[in-house]
Amino acid sequence: MIAFIGRRILQLIPVLLIASVGIWAMLYAVPGGPIGVIVGENATPESIEAARREFGLDRPVAVQYADWLINAVRGDLGASIHSREPVFDLIMDRLPATLQLAVAATIVALVLGIPVAVISAMYPGGWADRILSGWSALALGVPTFWLGILLILWFAVDLRWLPSVSQHVAIWADPAVALRNLILPAITLGVYVSGVIARFLRASLVTELNADYVRTVRSKGLTEGAIMRLHVLPNALLPFITIVGLMMASFIGGAVVTEAVFTYPGLGRLLIQAINTRDYPLIQGCIVVILVIYVLINLTVDILYAYVDPRIEYA
């Protein structure tokens, strides 16, 4: 098991290294380079030279990259061009908000997605299956940002039940206020993910329902509900774990958009602000952190999968 985990981590290194070169090189592909943003448009050759020296851009390219990488591994992602604050601190400031949104949206997605998948798999081709399949197509097809706008129109503008702009309040600080702020963004992001869950889990359930062991337990007189709960669902959830890894990419993308809809102060909004102000160290930092989170989740999913399914060999 430990050898398996070690090998999976080793496999990640080339991917992360190539990605890090890409993210680092981003700066150098910018017309005029990052210096253009720092010194502004009316810069003299002297001020450009001074800025180049201050940011270490006069050193050999390989040295600059190695330096950047070593610092990044240590958690030093440089300083924001605009606020001059450490990028790492700015990101850590926003991370809890995004994680709280992600957890809330996952709960919404599971609560909506699993029943839809179970019901439509139990009656394949029936009217419930048709309606629910249509629903998951809708959940996947409706753009996250538009769904968010519709929810704001209905619950914030029309009914005035919930705020149209969501603040970040830690759930343990004030659960009631935190929930008020979290409900609409979590539904917006969760509905999309529930569509993904419903579609993949239904396919997985239908495959399991046709397996020989289901016929055996059915002949022993178990009810359909018990078969689903005790036998089919646990088995179908196994392949489903790998889907969670695939889902993460759209989940992160959806989170960025959802944060924009609700002006929610998370990592995604920080990234958009950084792009709009051309704050390159901050852009790099946000992308590095999101990439690392994404890779770590995928790694956890792989290990979890190997752990819960004894048929997988980690030798």
Partner 1 sequence: MKQMHAILAALRGLLRQTGATLGLGFLGLIVLIAVFADLLPLDPLGQDFLRTLEGPSRDYWFGTDELGRDILSRVVFGARTSLVTAAGAVTIAALIGVPMGLIGGFFGGWRDAVLMRLVDVMMALPAILFAMALIAVFGRSQGAALLAVGITGIPGFARIVRAQVLTLRKRDFVVAVEAFGGTASYNMFRTILPNSWSQILVQVVVLSSVAILLEAALAFLGVGVPPPTPSWGEMLRTGKSYLHEAPYYAVLPGIVLTLTILAFDSIGRGLSRLIENPRDAALQGSLK
* Site pattern 82..121 for partner 1 (x: CB under 8 A): ----------------------------------------
Helices (H), the chain: 2-29, 33-39, 45-54, 61-73, 87-122, 127-141, 144-151, 175-209, 212-219, 224-226, 233-261, 267-276, 280-308
Separation between Cα atoms, residue 102 and residue 258, nearest integer Å: 11
29 scored as a contact of partner 1 (CB under 8 A): yes
287 scored as a contact of partner 1 (CB under 8 A): yes
Pick 63 or 275: Cβ nearer partner 1: 275
Candidates 42, 44, 223, 276; binder of partner 1 (CB under 8 A) is 276
**Structural contact between residues 283 and 26, judged by C-beta atoms closer than 8 angstroms:** yes
Separation between Cα atoms, residue 194 and residue 200, nearest integer Å: 10
Q: What are phi and psi of 32, to 5 degrees?
A: 85, -15
Separation between Cα atoms, residue 103 and residue 105, nearest integer Å: 5
Candidates 295, 297, 299, 304; binder of partner 1 (CB under 8 A) is 295
Listed residue (152, 179, 177) closest to 263, CA to CA: 152
Pick 18 or 226: Cβ nearer partner 1: 18
Contacts 24+ apart (CB under 8 A), 22-28: 23/284, 23/287, 23/288, 23/291, 24/65, 24/68, 24/69, 24/284, 26/280, 26/283, 26/284, 27/280, 27/284, 28/61
Pick 79 or 147: Cβ nearer partner 1: 147
* Site pattern 6..25 for partner 1 (x: CB under 8 A): --------xx--xx--xx--
138 scored as a contact of partner 1 (CB under 8 A): yes
CA dihedral 187, 192, 195, 200 (to 10 degrees): -120
290 scored as a contact of partner 1 (CB under 8 A): yes
137 scored as a contact of partner 1 (CB under 8 A): yes
296 scored as a contact of partner 1 (CB under 8 A): no
Pick 45 or 141: Cβ nearer partner 1: 141
**Structural contact between residues 170 and 226, judged by C-beta atoms closer than 8 angstroms:** no
* Site pattern 237..256 for partner 1 (x: CB under 8 A): -----------xxx-xx--x
CB of 163 to partner 1, least distance (A): 13
291 scored as a contact of partner 1 (CB under 8 A): yes
Candidates 193, 197, 205, 283; binder of partner 1 (CB under 8 A) is 283
Separation between Cα atoms, residue 218 and residue 227, nearest integer Å: 7
Residues that bind partner 1 (CB under 8 A): 14-15, 18-19, 22-23, 26, 29-31, 137-138, 140-146, 149-150, 152-153, 156-157, 164, 248-250, 252-253, 256-257, 260-261, 271-272, 274-276, 278, 280, 283, 287, 290-291, 294-295
